[in-house]
Amino acid sequence: MQITYAYKSINKEWKVKNKDMKMKNDKMFSTGNHPIEALLPMLHLQNAGFEFGIATSTGKPVVFEMWAFPNEDENVKANYDELKSSFENPMNLTTFIDSSFDNADDYAVVFVPGGHGAMIGISEDRNVGKILNWAHTNDLFTLSLCQGPGSFLAATLDDQKFIYKGYKMAVFPDAIDKQTPMIGYLPGEMTHRLSEKLKTLGATVINTESDATVCVDRKLTTGASPLASNELGKLATTTLLKELK
């Protein structure tokens, strides 16, 4: 999974990776970050003057679900080509924490894109929890969509209070993930339900469909699915530019 951070110079952004997700039946599902969910919001932010930094948990390359790559979209392809070196040679999260936590004023937003890869190990990654709590404490924006909010669970590690308790958010629906094994997309049931877990922690999930729903609640901006990628990018950019005037 990837985390992207955005500077204020204007501005910068971070992203996170994993590849194989274990199902309830012990079968493995090869996945990663969804390219549209990552690249389309980043394109809007880039056009507004933001710069990006890319990080993964281990410093290994970002894994994209390339079957979903929008080859017909020249703007997204150009954005990918420009950032390809950063995707292939990301910073690791420990290095980012050590080098950047004392410079929060240089940053604008932490972005965790979706894809089922965002649910592999990231919720148990203490560095992810540190970064989300750092962003929250320093009044930075956090941006995520689809399964990306699985990262939010890391903010509760070591008995920490859930920083998004009482927040509204859009998340990929559990009902859709329950259906995907029946159509052959997932090779089995997932080990946990993301929306259900976030609700038990005190979040309000506002969508029930895998649609273009987007939501802003304080400094948290979220989207429901790949269909929300464009609207999420526009909403995040408008919100950030208004805040950073």
Burial of 40 (0-12, 13-18, 19+ CB in 10 A): buried
Cα dihedral 145, 43, 9, 220 in deg (nearest 10): -20
Among 146, 153, 154, 235, the one annotated catalytic:
146
CA–CA distances in Å: residue 151 to residues 28, 69, 96, 238, 245: 20, 23, 17, 24, 29
Three-class secondary structure of residue 213 per DSSP: coil
Rounded-to-integer distance, Cα 116 and Cα 121, Å: 11
The candidate with the shortest Cα–Cα distance to 58, out of 113, 115, 16, is: 16
Tokens of 149: 């909010």
- Catalytic site residue 146? yes
> Do the beta carbons of residue 113 and residue 144 sit within 8 Å?
yes
Residue 241 corresponds to which tokens in the numbers above? 């530019």
What angle (nearest 5°) sits at the alpha carbon of residue 91, between those of residues 111 and 72?
55
- Alpha-carbon span 74 to 77, nearest angstrom: 5
Instruction: Write out the two tokens for 216.
Output: 């802003």
Backbone phi, then psi, for 146, in 5-degree steps?
A: 60, -120
Q: Which residues are catalytic?
A: 146
